[in-house]
A and B are shown apart, each in its own frame.
Chain A
Amino acid sequence: MQKLLVPAPSDDKRWRMVTATMRRHGYRRDALIEALHSAQEAFGYLDSQSLQYVARSLNLPLSQVYGVATFYSFFTLKPPGEHTCVICLGTACYIKGAGEIIASIQDHFDLKPGQTTPDDRASLLTARCLGTCGLAPSGVFDGEVVGNLTPENVAERLEEWLDHAG
C-alpha cells in the first residue's frame, strides 16, 4: 500500500532531519520516540507544529503523541533559553551537595528548576544521574559535562552567560 507522505510544515531545512528519521524507520508507529528526539534536536523543543507533523506522518492520534511527549521528562514543550544548565540531582550528587547548588542558584539568580530567565538567556534544568557520579556533584553546561560543582563555580558560569554582576 502506497502511503501518502505528509508535507513538512514549512521549508525550514530543519524538518529534513525529522523526516529522515521517520523515513529510516519506514514511517512505522514505533518510530514515535525517535522522531520526537529528532524534532527536539532540530528545534530545541517540541511545539504543536512538530507534534502534529509527527502524528500525521506516523498516522498516530494526536493525543497519543502528546501523551508520549509529556510522559518522558527528556522532552520539553517550552522553548529553552539560549544557554542551558543541567544540575544532576541523582543520589551521588545529592549526597555531595547538589541540593545546595540548586538552592543557591535560586537565591542568586531567582531561577528555579524548569525555568528560564526573563531575558531568555539561560534555563535551569535537573537530571537524574548523568553517569558521572565519580565527579559528583556534576552538571551539563551547554552540552558539556562538568564535574566537582560548587555553588561558587556554578554561579561563575551562569554569570558569564547572564552578564550580570551577581
Chain B
Amino acid sequence: MLAEDLHRMAAHERAQQLQYDHHIIVCSGTACRSANSEAVRQALEQQVQERSQIGVCTVTNGGCRGLCAAGPMVSVEPAGLLYQGVTPADAGAIVDSLGSAPVPHILCDTSAAFFSKQRALVLEFAGNLDPDRIESYLANGGYDTLLKAVTEMTPTQIRDEIVRSGLRGRGGAGYSTGLKWNTVAKAQSAEKYVICNGDEGDPGAFMNRSEMEDYPFRILEGMTIAAYAVGAQQGYIYVRAEYPLAVSRLKGAIRQSEKLGLLGNGIFGTSFNFNVDIRLGAGAFVCGEETALIASVEGKRGNPRPRPPYPAEHGLWGHPTLINNVETFANIVPIIRNGSEWFAGIGTAKSKGTKVFALSGRIQNTGLVEIPMGMTLREIIYDIGGGIPGGRHFKAVQTGGPSGGCITAQHLDLPMDYEALMQVGTFMGSGGMIVMDDSSCMVDVARYFMEFCMTESCGKCIPCRVGTAQMFDLLDKITRGEATLDDLALLEELADMVRNTSLCGLGQGAPNPVRSTLRYFRDEYLSHIVDKVCPAGVCKMQHREEVLP
C-alpha cells in the first residue's frame, strides 16, 4: 500500500459513512457484552429493517464508553446522544426517535462531570470506531502517522520527539520511554524485537483490556513506529489468556493490516519490514515482569532473571528488545501526529500527558476514566467517580495493585503523578484504583494482597517464595485474632527483608501493601492483636469471647 491507496481508502470509507443520516453505535466491550449488548445490537438492526431505515441509519459495533457498570451503552451520531442500560425492548423507541427528541428514560447525561472532566487522548474517539474494521480506523486518520513517520522522519527524529514529549512508561515504573527507545536503538545487533506488554495482571486494572479491545489498530501503529525508530523487524503482543475478546480483536487487526501491507515487508514502499505475532499468557501475574515475560514468550516457565543486563540490551533470545506497556504504545500516534510540545503541554512538570484509570470497588461510577496527569484524587473520586455509594465514608484507595499501597483521606488533594504517589508510599502502577469505604478492614486487605503475591510468586528466589508465605501466615494469624506483638515485629522485619532482597519487582513490591497499611492504619492492626477486635467487623476473630469483658 502506498500513500495514495491509504488516502483513497480513507476517503471512500468517509463517503460511505456520509450516505447515512444516523449512526447507531453499540458498545461491544467485554463488560457491555456480558450485559447482553449483542442482543441489543441485533434488536436495533431488526428495528432499522422493520422501520425501513436501511440506507438512512447504520448499526455498528463500537468501543467502551468508560461507564462499564451502566452498560449496555449505545450512542447515536451525529446527534451525540448516549444511552445507558439499554435493553432489546428499547430498540424500537431508539430507532423511532432518530432525528427527533431522544428516548428520555435511558438517556445518559454527557455533560455530567464524569464526561466533562475527562481528557480523551488514549481513548480518543470515545468508542466511536468499529474495532473490527480497519476502514473505520483509516477513515479517522489511522495509519497517517505511520506514513508520516516512515516517509518523512528518520528514526532519530522520532526518538527525539518521544524523548522531548516526556512520555513515561504506563506499565508501572514510569521509566522514560524515549530513553528506553534510545538504548535499544543504540544496541548493536542484526536482530531486535519490540514487545507489547498486555499481560495486565494487576487485579482491579482493566485499562489495557479496553485499549486492546477498542484500539487494536492504534496499538499496532504505535508498535510499528517504535520498531522503525529502534530498528526492529519482529514484534510480539503478549496478552493474558483471560482476555479472549482482546486476543481476537488484535488477531483481526493484524490480519487486516497485513493484507493492506501495513505490516510485512516494504511498508509504504520503503525498505522497512515489520511483522507482529500474538503470544498468549497462561495465568501468571509474574509474567508481566519484563524478564519473566521474555521467558514466557520463549515458551518457558515465567521465571524472572536479575537485571542488569536489561532487556533493552539483552532480551528475547539474547537480542535487544523494547518492551512497553499497551498504553505506552497507544500514546505514540498522538505524540507523533500532534508533536511533542503539544503532549508536553498536558500534565505536570515531570508527568506528561494523560493516564487512564480503572475505577472500581466502593464507588458510584465504576469504569474507565482518562484524566490529565496532576488531577487530584478528590476530583477523580468525587466528581468523576460520583463518590461513595450507600452513604458510607471513603476510607482509602489502593493504587499500584498488589505491589502498591493505599492513599487515605488525608491525601485526597494529592495530584496524581508519578512522584507524588511515590511520596505517600504507593505508586502509579498500571492504573487500577480500588476504592474502599469504612466497611473494608485494612488488615484483611493486606492479607488478601499477600495471599495474591504468595500464590503468584514464581518460587525462584528464596525471600519471595518463603517470605510471602511466612508473611501471609502472620497476617492470617492477625485476622484470626491469634497474633501477638512479637508476630507484628516479625512481620515488619520480614517486610523489610523481602523488599530489599527479592530478585524481581514482584517480591520487592509484595510487602508494600503491608507497609502502607501499617503506616496509615497501624491502630487497626493493634485492635486485632491487642483487643482481638476487627473494627470493620470483617474478620472472624477466633478469640473474641475470651477477651471481651
Contact = CB atoms under 8 A, between A and B. Distances in A.
Given A34-B279, A129-B204, A130-B242, A91 B401 contact: yes
Interface in B253-288: 279-285
Interface stretch (B51-59, B76-84, B330-338, B359-367): B359-367
A92 B361 contact: yes
Nearest to B242: A130
A72 B279 CA distance: 14
Contact of A145 (B34, B69, B281, B448): B34
Given A130-B242, A145-B34, A67 B206 contact: no
B201 interface: yes
B302 A72 contact: yes
A87 interface: no
Contacts of B123: none
B203 A132 contact: no
B282 A133 contact: no
Contacts of A127: 242, 283
Contacts of A81: none
Contacts, number: 142
A90 B204 contact: yes
Given A95-B440, A133-B206, A73 B69 contact: no
A91 B69 contact: no
Interface stretch (A3-11, A116-124, A134-142): A134-142
Contact of A134 (B68, B283, B440, B448): B68
A68 B297 CA distance: 12
Interface residues of A, number: 39
Given A92-B434, A94-B448, A129-B205, A30 B298 contact: yes
Contacts of B282: 33, 36-37, 72-75
A15 B209 CA distance: 31
B206 A96 contact: no
Given A72-B282, A132-B30, A135-B68, A96 B205 contact: no
B203 A147 contact: no
A134 B434 contact: no
Interface residues of B, number: 53
Given A67-B301, A131-B209, A135-B68, A34 B280 contact: yes
A73 B360 contact: no
B30 A145 contact: yes
Contact of B361 (A30, A95, A147): A95
Interface in A29-71: 29-34, 36-37, 64, 67-68, 71
A132 B206 contact: yes
A131 B279 contact: no
A22 to B, nearest CB: 11
Nearest to B30: A132
Contacts of B298: 29-30
Interface in B411-442: 432, 434, 436, 440
A12 interface: no
B323 interface: no
Contact of A37 (B280, B360, B398): B280
Interface in B166-202: 200-202
A133 B358 contact: yes
B241 interface: yes
Nearest to B243: A131
B285 A128 contact: yes
Nearest to B282: A72
B283 A72 contact: yes
B300 interface: yes
Contact of B284 (A73, A135, A147): A73
A30 B300 CA distance: 7
Nearest to A99: B448
B31 interface: yes
Contacts of A33: 279-280, 282, 296, 299
B35 interface: yes
Given A33-B299, A68-B299, A133-B366, A92 B34 contact: no
A146 interface: yes
Contacts of A134: 31, 68-69, 206, 358, 360, 366-368
B280 A91 contact: no
Nearest to B302: A71
B301 A131 contact: no
B360 A136 contact: yes
Contacts of A129: 201-206, 242
B457 to A, nearest CB: 11
B452 interface: yes
Given A95-B436, A133-B366, A134-B366, A32 B299 contact: yes
A145 B440 contact: no
A67 to B, nearest CB: 6
Interface string B69-94: 10000000000000000000000000
A131 B205 CA distance: 7
B296 A147 contact: no
A102 B242 CA distance: 20
Q: Give the 7 A-B residue pairs with the shortest CB-CB distance, closest first.
A: A134-B68, A90-B203, A72-B282, A74-B283, A32-B299, A92-B360, A129-B203
Interface of A: 29-34, 36-37, 64, 67-68, 71-75, 89-96, 127-136, 138, 144-147
Given A30-B297, A134-B368, 15 more contacts: A31-B299, A37-B241, A71-B284, A91-B401, A92-B203, A95-B434, A128-B456, A129-B201, A131-B206, A132-B30, A132-B206, A133-B206, A133-B360, A134-B206, A147-B34
10 contacts: A32-B299, A33-B299, A75-B283, A91-B203, A91-B398, A91-B402, A92-B361, A95-B434, A135-B366, A145-B30
